[in-house]
């Protein structure tokens, strides 16, 4: 199995497109940092953080007066008020726009770039064997088909991890190059107590949770590519669902069944900190269970298609 994975890894990195993806990730992160710094410099006036906190309190209190709020919405506004009052009472400045932490904290949200590239690799790693005619040569080897498919799947997962590391490292370096170290802190309400959030601990946690979303969408693309043997179809469907899935969930949010839709559960960061789930009543354990069911279904279909169907053509 290790030799199969090594061969797939070498095949992947022998393609110029893979190196182009790495360079693009690095350039995009540097570009984002530079653009954000330029935009911040163009701002003529900056609101004092104490004034901003007071405005947040006033806004949240006004929102609480709105009738028909859900339980989660009321809780979110109450938590915001408590946090901002604590910040003012103890003179704890938030993370500033010009601070390196502000840019670096956006890294988990930028993993959509990695998702896009992972979809491209996952969709083509099986389908390209058919389009290029190399599948016949691959299957003449005395290796079981499920092992061949597993090596390809693991290669896709390792690729996603490596690309995430590139994005993370370049993002952190860019943050320190372009922005200042000011010392702002993030606060949150935990078990009725206001605590200072560990910046790096929270960053790594959110990055890991975002990486799960990359794996899920990558597995979906892998399945479509394995079944239909078309990388373009797999890429098209996966990217469409990646961008439109959340919008579809929001449109259908009033229906009970929507909580079982994959894209209502892939964003596990919605359960971290003072955030609240997209669909009221959802929990992280529930979302993890839903994700596991979908991933198992995707893998069963992929393996069935590759091992049972005629793949010699």
Residue 311 has pLDDT above 60, yes or no: no
Q: So what's the pLDDT on residue 26?
A: 95
Residue 289 is predicted with a pLDDT of 94
The band of 75, judged by pLDDT with boundaries at 50, 70 and 90, is confident
Flag whether 278 is in a domain.
no
Number of domains in the chain: 1
Is 138 a domain residue? yes
Does some domain include residue 176?
yes
More confident site: 255 or 36: 36
Confidence at residue 93, expressed as pLDDT on a 0 to 100 scale: 87
Q: What is the pLDDT of residue 46?
A: 66
Rounded mean pLDDT of 295-309?
A: 87
pLDDT score of 215 more than 60: yes
Q: Is residue 58 part of a domain?
A: no
Band of the pLDDT at 310, cuts 50, 70, 90? low
Residue 169 belongs to a domain: yes
pLDDT tens by residue, 257-285 = 888 888 888 888 888 877 777 777 788 89
- What are the distances in angstroms from CA 249 to CA 7, 96, 145, 260? 40, 33, 37, 10
- Contact of 251 with 233, CB cutoff 8 Å: no
Residue 66 lies in a domain: no
Residue 235 has pLDDT above 80, yes or no: yes
For residue 98, pLDDT over 60 is answered with yes
The pLDDT of 28-51, averaged and rounded, is 83
Question: Which of the given ranges, 41-50, 166-175, 224-233, has the highest pLDDT on average?
Answer: 166-175
In this predicted structure, the answer to whether residue 309 has a pLDDT above a threshold of 80 is: no
Residue 176's pLDDT band, with cuts at 50, 70 and 90, is very high
Mean pLDDT, all residues of the chain: 85
* Containing structural domain, residue 186: 2-40+97-247
pLDDT band at 115 (very low <50, low <70, confident <90, very high): very high
Q: List all residues 6 or more positions away from 304 whose beta carbon is below 8 Å from its beta carbon.
A: none
Q: In this structure, what token pair is assigned to residue 238?
A: 């996966």
Q: Is the pLDDT of residue 297 over 90?
A: yes
- Which residues, listed in sequence order, are joined to residue 188 by a DSSP beta bridge? 195
One-letter-per-residue 3-state SS of the chain: CHHHHHHHHHHHHCCHHHHHHHHHHHHHHHHHHHHHHHHHHHCCCCCCHHHHHHHHHHHHHHHHCCCCCCHHHHHHHHHHHHHHHHHHHCCCCCCCCCEHHHHHCCHHHHHHHHHHHHHHHHHHHHHHHHHCCCHHHHHCCCCCHHHHHHHHHHHHHHHHHHHHHHHHHHHHHHHHHHCECCCCCCEEEECCEEEECCHHHHHHHHHHHHHHHHHHHHHHHHHHHHHHCCHHHHHHHHHHHHHHHHHHHHHCCCCHHHHHCHHHCCCHHHHCCCCCCCCCCCCHHHHHHHHHHHHHHHHHHHHHHHHHCCCCC
Instruction: Tell me if the pTM is above 0.75.
Output: yes
pLDDT of residue 250: 82
Look-up: residue for tokens 């969930």?
249
**CA–CA dist 161, 211 (Å, integer):** 8
The answer to the question of residue 147 being in a domain is yes
| Residue 313 confidence (pLDDT) | 47
pLDDT at 47: 67
194 occurs within a structural domain: yes
Whole-angstrom Cα distance, residue 225 to residue 232? 8
């Amino acid at each position: 199995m290790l030799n199969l994975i090594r061969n797939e890894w070498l095949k992947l990195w022998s393609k110029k497109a893979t190196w182009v993806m790495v360079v693009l990730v690095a350039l995009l992160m540097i570009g984002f940092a530079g653009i954000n710094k330029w935009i911040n410099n163009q701002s003529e006036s900056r609101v004092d953080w104490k004034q901003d906190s007071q405005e947040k309190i006033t806004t949240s209190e006004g929102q609480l007066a709105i009738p028909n709020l859900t339980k989660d919405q009321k809780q979110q506004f109450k938590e915001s008020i408590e946090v901002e009052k604590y910040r003012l009472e103890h003179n704890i400045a938030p993370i500033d726009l010009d601070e390196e932490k502000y840019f670096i904290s956006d890294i988990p949200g930028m993993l959509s770039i990695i998702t896009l590239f992972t979809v491209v690799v996952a969709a083509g790693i099986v389908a390209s064997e058919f389009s290029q005619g190399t599948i016949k040569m691959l299957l003449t080897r005395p290796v079981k088909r499920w092992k061949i498919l597993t090596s390809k799947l693991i290669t896709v997962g390792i690729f996603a991890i490596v690309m995430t590391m590139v994005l993370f490292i370049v993002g952190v370096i860019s943050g320190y190059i372009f922005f200042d170290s000011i010392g702002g802190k993030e606060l949150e309400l935990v078990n009725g107590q206001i605590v200072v959030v560990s910046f790096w601990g929270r960053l790594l946690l959110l990055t890991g949770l975002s990486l799960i979303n990359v794996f899920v969408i990558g597995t979906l693309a892998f399945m479509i590519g394995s079944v239909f043997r078309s990388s373009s179809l797999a890429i098209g469907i996966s990217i469409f669902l990646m961008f439109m899935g959340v919008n579809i969930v929001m449109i259908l949010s009033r229906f009970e069944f929507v909580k079982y839709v994959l894209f209502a559960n892939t964003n596990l960061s919605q359960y971290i900190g003072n955030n609240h789930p997209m669909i009221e009543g959802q929990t992280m354990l529930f979302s993890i269970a839903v994700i596991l069911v979908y991933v198992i279904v995707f893998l069963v279909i992929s393996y069935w298609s590759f091992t049972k169907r005629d793949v010699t053509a």
